[in-house]
């Protein structure tokens, strides 16, 4: 069994090497912000969650549209903050 410090350094190394974005995982998407764990989970499960909530099929046009809107207006912000991107172009007043 690995010691805690060994597991931690392995995790840090994996995080340093992870550089996926929505666009790199799905070339038809326009977003290039590096995914955080939230974005990666959303990428893999978002369609199914939205389909379950709306009662539609995961490949339904409405589900695809909602997936894109939720990513663009919420999850991408989380990805950016988790990756150290300032949410404001200037300092807030």
User: Has residue 93 been placed in a domain?
Assistant: no
User: Has residue 13 been placed in a domain?
Assistant: no
pLDDT at 30: 96
User: Has residue 61 been placed in a domain?
Assistant: yes
pLDDT at 91: 73
Q: Mean pLDDT in each 10-residue stretch from start to end of the chain (93 residues)?
A: 53 64 95 93 96 98 98 95 82 69
Domain that residue 24 falls in: 19-82
pLDDT at 18: 76
Residue 29 φ then ψ, to 5°: -85, 150
Please state the pTM of the whole predicted model: 0.78
pLDDT at 10: 47
User: Has residue 10 been placed in a domain?
Assistant: no
pLDDT at 7: 52
Sign of the alpha-carbon torsion through 74, 85, 12, 15: positive
pLDDT at 59: 96
Tell me how many domains the chain contains: 1
User: Has residue 1 been placed in a domain?
Assistant: no
User: Has residue 57 been placed in a domain?
Assistant: yes
3-state secondary structure of 87: coil
pLDDT at 15: 55
């Amino acid at each position: 069994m690995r010691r805690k410090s060994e597991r931690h350094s392995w995790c840090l190394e994996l995080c340093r090497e992870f550089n996926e974005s929505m666009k790199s995982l799905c070339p038809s998407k326009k977003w290039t912000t590096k995914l955080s764990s939230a974005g990666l989970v959303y990428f893999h499960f978002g369609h199914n969650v939205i389909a379950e909530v709306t009662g539609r099929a995961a490949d339904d046009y409405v589900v695809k549209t909602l997936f894109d809107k939720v990513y663009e207006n919420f999850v991408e912000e989380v990805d950016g903050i988790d990756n150290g991107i300032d949410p404001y172009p200037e300092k807030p007043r």
